[in-house]
């Protein structure tokens, strides 16, 4: 048997803040995130992107990652990765379930859909203008790769999401 | 950690770089108390207290095409899981390991 241990995370409530000189880009981004959360509440009734509801969870994941980064166990996402993650969340179609954000050890931001056995997808962003996909869609059907990302979902990612949700759109 | 499914998230088994490694301890023949003590002594830090541990058979690691390399620092039971390739593929492997693992929460 092999065993690994898990660091204890913590949950922070998000508090509105004002970006000022000397504040890091990531801190400013968190302030923007709060504004987006408010925006999400306004838009929820209109059936727009399902990804908006994942934005608060992304903020919480970032806070946990920041604590782990201080212990040297984790890299923090680059401002570019945070921007791309927000773009991807905004671009998710309304028929798509909301993903669970995961700040990976490398600092990549993964958006994970774990919908049951063999229905799993991660779209990951690193702030490099690319999007990585890793998916298990059916028995023995493992799909992975990298494509360009310019703020909108490509055919590949939309196809994976469609297969995952088992919807014809 | 996925409390609803009592197993770790794939992130728990994902290396920090595409060709990196995962730090583990061989726990065969160890009691739960001894496993907790290992974690407390060699892994836990004040800023990141441990919240549990997860176990899986080494055969599962080998079955994914990975290796377990003994690395007896800081402890004779310490090892590294190596043989990772690329991030997109690593996530699928990490997911398979997480699905096979059992999670024990403190």
Mean pLDDT score, A71-98: 92
- Token pair, residue B93, equals 């492997």
Distance, in Å, from the CA atom of A83 to the CA atom of A87, rounded to the nearest integer, reads: 6
Report how many domains make up chain B. 1
Range of the domain at B51: 5-105
Residues of B in contact with A133 (CB under 8 A): 88
Which of A8, A134, A145 is the closest to B48 by Cβ? A8
Q: What is the pTM for the complete model shown?
A: 0.82
- Residue B14: per-residue pLDDT: 96
Mean pLDDT score, B54-63: 96
Give per-residue pLDDT as tens, B5-55. 688 999 999 999 888 999 999 999 999 999 999 999 999 988 788 989 999
Q: B55 CB near a chain A CB, below 8 Å?
A: yes
Which of B10, B35, B47 is the closest to A3 by Cβ? B35
- Residue A69 pLDDT exceeds 50: yes
Are the beta carbons of B25 and A3 separated by less than 8 Å?
A: yes
- Residue A4 pLDDT exceeds 70: no
Q: What is the ipTM for the molecules in this complex?
A: 0.90
CB proximity list for A108: less than 8 A, separation 6 or greater: A77, A81, A124, A125, A126, A132, B87
Placement of tokens 């390991």 in the chain: B97
- Residue B35: per-residue pLDDT: 96
Q: Compute the mean pLDDT over every residue in chain A, rounded to the nearest whole number.
A: 80
Q: Where are the alpha helices (DSSP H) in A20-154?
A: 25-43, 55-70, 79-91
- Residue A169 pLDDT exceeds 70: no
Considering only residues A32 and A164, tell me which one the structure prediction assigns the higher pLDDT.
A164
Residues of A in contact with B1 (CB under 8 A): 6, 9
- Token pair, residue A11, equals 């949950």
Lowest mean pLDDT among A12-26, A141-155, B92-106: A12-26
């Amino acid at each position: 048997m092999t065993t690994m241990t898990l660091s204890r995370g913590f949950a922070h409530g998000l508090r509105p803040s004002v970006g000022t000189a000397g504040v890091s880009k990531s801190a400013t981004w968190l302030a923007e995130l709060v504004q987006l959360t408010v925006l999400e509440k306004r838009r929820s009734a209109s059936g727009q992107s399902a990804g908006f509801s994942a934005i608060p969870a992304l903020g919480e994941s970032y806070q946990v990652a920041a604590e782990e980064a201080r212990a040297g166990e984790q890299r923090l996402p680059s401002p570019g990765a945070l921007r791309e993650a927000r773009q991807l969340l905004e671009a998710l179609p309304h028929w798509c379930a909301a993903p669970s954000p995961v700040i990976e050890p490398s600092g990549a931001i993964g958006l994970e859909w774990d919908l049951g056995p063999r229905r799993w997808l991660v779209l990951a962003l690193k702030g490099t203008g690319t999007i990585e996909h890793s998916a298990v869609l059916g028995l023995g059907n493992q799909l992975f790769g990298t494509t360009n990302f310019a703020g909108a979902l490509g055919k590949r990612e939309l196809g994976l999401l469609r297969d995952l949700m088992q919807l014809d759109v | 950690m996925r409390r609803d499914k009592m197993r770790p998230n794939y992130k728990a088994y994902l290396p920090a770089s595409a060709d990196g490694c995962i730090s583990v301890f061989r726990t065969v023949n160890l009691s739960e108390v001894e496993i907790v003590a290992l974690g407390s002594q060699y892994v836990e830090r004040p800023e990141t207290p441990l919240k549990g541990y997860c176990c899986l058979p080494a055969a599962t690691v080998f079955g994914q095409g990975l290796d377990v390399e003994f690395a007896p620092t800081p402890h004779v039971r310490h090892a590294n899981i190596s043989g990772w390739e690329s991030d997109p593929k690593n996530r699928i492997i990490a997911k398979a390991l997480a699905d096979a693992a059992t999670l024990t929460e403190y």
